[in-house]
Amino acid sequence: MASDENSVEIITGVVKWFDPAKGFGFILSDEASSDILLHANALRNFGLSSVCDRARIRVSVQSTARGLQTHEVLEVLPPEDQDATSEDVAGQVALIDTSIQIEPARVKWFDKVKGFGFANVFGKSEDVFIHMETLRRSGMADLQPGEAIALRAVAGERGRMAVSIEPWEAGTVLHETQHKASET
């Protein structure tokens, strides 16, 4: 890694830990000589309020007087070793299909202790159930009320449920593209 404070390099790594309450965490990478600071602002600029431990991450990194620091988050992927913990979740993994439309939504509430919560998709009245395992598989650790997200949802036994969650921008870009296509 270059020591010039103005140079920015793109690296891939794994989230060592991230604490949303503290507003920071660290990334481990074979491409860096030390841990890399991941500040909440860099994560928020990407469209997320949290990231789970061991999530794979691609970032631009800058060397500062205090060490390596994330300049920009470019991609967040779930941990490679993420295993399903129940048959329900394993069945839910099989339902993930990229042909399912991405929808922009806002978190209604999410309780990490209970392991679930709900979101409202823009333009639709019914809530979408979000399970903690779906959140982890998406590389996130928590959601805040009012947080903007993008999700893919399917019909479940008790209503719609999210099968994947992505940063807000994924939903807004697709929504704008679909809106422009419908105008032509």
Residue 171 pLDDT class (50, 70, 90 cuts): low
pLDDT at res. 24: 94
- In this structure, are 116 and 60 located in the same domain? no
Q: What three-state secondary structure class fits 99?
A: coil
Range of the domain at 106: 87-183
Taking the C-alpha atoms of residue 82 and residue 79, their distance in angstroms, rounded to an integer, is 5
- In this structure, are 52 and 102 located in the same domain? no
- Please name the residues in contact with 108: beta carbons below 8 A apart, sequence gap of 6 or more: 117, 118, 119, 120, 127, 145
Q: Measured between alpha carbons, how far apart are the two ends of the chain, in Å? A: 49
What single string gives the DSSP state of each residue in 122-142?
TT--SEEEEEHHHHHHTT---
- In this structure, are 163 and 102 located in the same domain? yes
Q: If you average pLDDT over residues 42-48, what whole number do you get?
A: 89
Please check whether residue 97 lies inside any domain of the structure.
yes
For the chain, what is the domain count? Answer: 2
Distances (CA, A) of 138 to 37, 57, 110, 132, 163: 21, 12, 15, 10, 9
pLDDT tens for residues 83-116?
444 444 444 444 457 788 899 999 999 998 899 9
Please check whether residue 1 lies inside any domain of the structure.
no
The helix (run of H) or strand (run of E) holding residue 178 is: helix 168-183
- In this structure, are 36 and 72 located in the same domain? yes
Report the percent of the chain where pLDDT is more than 90: 47
pLDDT of 139 strictly over 90:
no
Q: Higher-confidence residue: 56 or 174?
A: 56
Report the percent of the chain where pLDDT is more than 70: 79
Lowest-confidence range among 10-19, 34-43, 60-69, 79-88? Answer: 79-88
- In this structure, are 107 and 129 located in the same domain? yes
pLDDT tens for residues 172-182?
555 455 545 55
Taking the C-alpha atoms of residue 32 and residue 85, their distance in angstroms, rounded to an integer, is 33
The mean predicted confidence, pLDDT, of the chain is 83
- In this structure, are 94 and 73 located in the same domain? no
Q: What string of H, E and C letters represents the secondary structure of 47-98?
A: CCCCCCCCCEEEEEEEEECCEEEEEEEEEEECCCCCCCCCHHHHHHHHHCCC
pLDDT of 11 strictly over 80:
yes
Q: Higher-confidence residue: 175 or 75?
A: 75
Residue 170 pLDDT class (50, 70, 90 cuts): low
